Amino acid sequence: MSGAFQAPRGIPDYFPPNSADFRKVRDTLTDAARRAGYGHIELPIFEETALFARGVGESTDVVSKEMYTFTDRGDRSVTLRPEGTAGVVRAVIQHGLDRGQLPVKVCYAGPFFRYEKPQTGRYRQLQQVGVEAIGVDDPALDAEVVAVADEGYKRLGLSGYRLEITSLGDDASRPRYREALQEFLFGLDLDEATRKRAEINPLRVLDDKRPEIREATANAPLLIDYLSDEAKAHFDLVLANLDRLGVAYEINPRLVRGLDYYTKTTFEFVHDGLGAQSGIGGGGRYDGLMRQLGAKQDLSGIGFGIGVDRTMLALEAEGVAGTQAARCQVFGVPLGADAKAELVGVAGSLRAAGISVDLAYGDRGLKGAMKAADRSGARLALVLGENELAGRRIEIKDLGNGEQQQVSLDDVVAEVTRLLG
Ligand code: HAM
């Protein structure tokens, strides 16, 4: 028995016309990065498994539960990338990019893979646009990264989102906080798994979604109250720069991200129209990641990952989705085989002149073909019947106002170019 195939569970397809929104989101976000000097980076879809285990952190859900890991034919363990930062840092180290101009500023777009429980806005293949700026620990750069994301959302016409930001402190801040938090957590009546978590990564307990844990940890000490002087000064400058850039934010000292590499500035963009999957983008600074991934020198980096799928849903929720992108500018309607042969050539010449053209294929008659022309979103239809062809002429119809004219087949490219001008 053979049924029809389905895409793997939890993996969205994007096809016309909605795929125009997908492209718009992706391109608008990457354009915002480009305007701030981020260059394009294209990285492998899969990497050595240990890169993510070490980079993202063994105690995270992403690594412990959600990785698409398999053994290749050479018996190596490889993993479909669950996120982009570890790969970028790997490439920076491998190619010695950190020996050049700093910071290294790169932008990426593409699919990432997490074996999560699928639901609206949570997919197993998710699309991100991300940036990373590596090699300079400057609060002005933190603010730039945040502002690039904010600018991207604004340009898309999104308004119902907010930016939550906090500082996770530096090496000097953490031990003191960890101690205070563990002391608090060990005083609670926790189940075995949670207690274990409190030992390995107490911060992650604060990210627990279970109501009883939320309630029990409501009064837990907050890292932001344990920042070293240096980390506090850094955070204050980030906020001052965001004010200068006109980026609104809310400090959320309880913000916990799902990846382990964050230090200092950490942020998330949240959209309230999306239900449970409200994070449309997030990121932060990572101080120890280069060393963690084997670099001799440790350079600080900062970046974000924006969820393209969720940003599309957010645009829909706000009613600003639905890019009315015309599929083509010109639609050719041939009536008869000779006319079709001629129009195929005309279409080629128009495309060579930079004009997008589609034709009515499949001999469907004038009425059906004109309907297809309307649906294509084209501004002009070229109608070629046997009589016109005999006179080496062609009819150009403006699909907006219905005006028609005949021109010589020799002049059609020039005339169409003029009309679209
Ligand atoms: P992340 O918060 O894990 O960060 O993912 C970034 C964004 O990807 C999320 O805010 C969300 O919009 C989207 N996303 C994540 N998982 C899913 C999913 N299962 N389905 C749909 N969308 C999803 C990172 O990945 C970091 N690498 C970001 C970063 C870059 N930090 C520093 N540099």
What is the DSSP secondary-structure string of 217-266? Answer: TTT---GGGG--HHHHHHHHHHHHHHHHHT---EE-TT---SSTT-EEEE
Q: Is the pLDDT of residue 37 over 90?
A: yes
Q: pLDDT digit string (tens) for 281-309?
A: 999 999 999 999 999 989 999 999 999 99
Average pLDDT for residues 107-130, to the nearest whole number? 98
- Return the pLDDT at 322: 77
Q: Say yes or no: 411 and 348 in one domain.
A: yes
Cβ of 130 closer than 6 Å to ligand 1, yes or no, is yes
Q: Would you state the structure tokens that stand for residue 341, as one six-digit string?
A: 């042969």
| 258 in Cβ contact with 60 (< 8 Å) | yes
Can you spell out the DSSP letters for 126-143? EEEEEEEEES---HHHHH
How many helices (H) does the chain have, and how many strands (E)?
A: 16, 16
Q: Say yes or no: 279 and 302 in one domain.
A: yes
The verdict on residue 269 lying in a domain is yes
Boundary of a domain, candidates 267, 289, 317: 317
Q: Return all residues near 81 (Cβ < 8 A) that are at least 6 apart.
A: 43, 44, 45, 46, 47, 52, 87, 112, 113
Q: How many domains does the chain have?
A: 2
Average pLDDT for residues 33-50, to the nearest whole number? 98
What does the DSSP 8-state code read for residue 124? S
Q: Say yes or no: 293 and 408 in one domain.
A: no
Q: Say yes or no: 168 and 281 in one domain.
A: yes
Query: pTM of the entire structure?
Result: 0.92
Q: Say yes or no: 359 and 382 in one domain.
A: yes
Q: Would you state the structure tokens that stand for residue 359, as one six-digit string?
A: 């034709």
Backbone angles phi, psi at 95, to 5 degrees: -100, 5
Q: Ligand 1 centre from 61 Cα, in Å?
A: 13
* Coil/strand/helix, residue 89: helix
The verdict on residue 382 lying in a domain is yes
The verdict on residue 250 lying in a domain is yes
As a whole number of angstroms, the distance between CA 365 and CA 334 comes to 9
Q: Ligand 1 centre from 271 Cα, in Å?
A: 14
User: Pairing relation of β-strands 301-307 and 279-286?
Assistant: antiparallel
Q: Give which of 320, 318, 311, 319 is closest to 121, Cα–Cα.
A: 311
* Overall size of the chain counted in residues: 421
Cβ of 24 closer than 6 Å to ligand 1, yes or no, is no
Q: Say yes or no: 39 and 152 in one domain.
A: yes
Cβ of 313 closer than 6 Å to ligand 1, yes or no, is no
Q: In Å, how far from its chain's centre is CA 363? A: 41
- Beta-bridge partner residues of 331: 358, 381
Q: Say yes or no: 360 and 278 in one domain.
A: no
Q: Would you state the structure tokens that stand for residue 137, as one six-digit string?
A: 């620990």
| 358 in Cβ contact with 378 (< 8 Å) | yes
Which residue has the least CA distance to atom 14 on ligand 1? 307
Lowest mean pLDDT among 32-36, 268-272, 302-306, 324-328: 324-328
Q: Give which of 32, 399, 62, 73 is closest to 261, Cα–Cα.
A: 62
Cβ of 202 closer than 6 Å to ligand 1, yes or no, is no
| 83 in Cβ contact with 67 (< 8 Å) | no
Which residue has the least CA distance to atom 8 on ligand 1? 307
Question: Higher pLDDT residue, 141 or 327?
Answer: 141
Q: Ligand 1 centre from 282 Cα, in Å?
A: 6
Q: H-type helices in 73-227, by residue range?
A: 85-94, 139-156, 174-186, 192-200, 202-205, 211-216
As a whole number of angstroms, the distance between CA 132 and CA 120 comes to 28
| 231 in Cβ contact with 142 (< 8 Å) | no
The percent of residues in the chain predicted with pLDDT above 90, rounded, is 90
The verdict on residue 194 lying in a domain is no
Q: Count CB-CB contacts under 10 A for residue 316.
A: 15
Q: Say yes or no: 52 and 157 in one domain.
A: yes
Q: Ligand 1 centre from 146 Cα, in Å?
A: 14
The verdict on residue 217 lying in a domain is no
Q: Is the pLDDT of residue 134 over 90?
A: yes
What does the DSSP 8-state code read for residue 116? P
Q: Is the pLDDT of residue 325 over 80?
A: no
Q: Say yes or no: 166 and 286 in one domain.
A: yes
Residue 418 CB-density burial (10 A; 0-12 exposed, 13-18 middle, 19+ buried): exposed
Q: Say yes or no: 59 and 145 in one domain.
A: yes
End-to-end CA separation in angstroms for the chain? 56
Cβ of 301 closer than 6 Å to ligand 1, yes or no, is no
Which residue has the least CA distance to atom 26 on ligand 1? 305
Cβ of 234 closer than 6 Å to ligand 1, yes or no, is no
Average pLDDT for residues 7-33, to the nearest whole number? 96
Q: Give which of 409, 403, 374, 372 is closest to 390, Cα–Cα.
A: 409
| 49 in Cβ contact with 79 (< 8 Å) | yes
| 307 in Cβ contact with 110 (< 8 Å) | no
Average pLDDT for residues 192-217, to the nearest whole number? 90
Residue type, 306: I
Boundary of a domain, candidates 257, 285, 317: 317
From residue 215, alpha-carbon distances to 219, 221, 222, 243, 378 in Å are: 8, 14, 15, 33, 58
Residue 1: pLDDT band (50, 70, 90) is low
The verdict on residue 198 lying in a domain is no
| 139 in Cβ contact with 241 (< 8 Å) | yes
Q: Say yes or no: 313 and 390 in one domain.
A: no
Q: Is the pLDDT of residue 204 over 90?
A: no
Instruction: Give the CATH number, domain containing residue 389.
Output: 3.40.50.800
Which residue has the least CA distance to atom 2 on ligand 1? 282
Question: Higher pLDDT residue, 128 or 297?
Answer: 128
The verdict on residue 338 lying in a domain is yes
Average pLDDT for residues 208-237, to the nearest whole number? 94
- Return the pLDDT at 209: 85
Residue type, 56: V
Q: Specify the ligand 1 atom closest to the Cα of 283.
A: 31
Q: Is the pLDDT of residue 220 over 60?
A: yes
The verdict on residue 184 lying in a domain is no
Instruction: Give the CATH number, domain containing residue 83.
Output: 3.30.930.10
Residue 388: domain span = 330-420
Q: Say yes or no: 27 and 90 in one domain.
A: yes
Average pLDDT for residues 203-232, to the nearest whole number? 92
Average pLDDT for residues 163-191, to the nearest whole number? 94
Q: Ligand 1 centre from 281 Cα, in Å?
A: 6
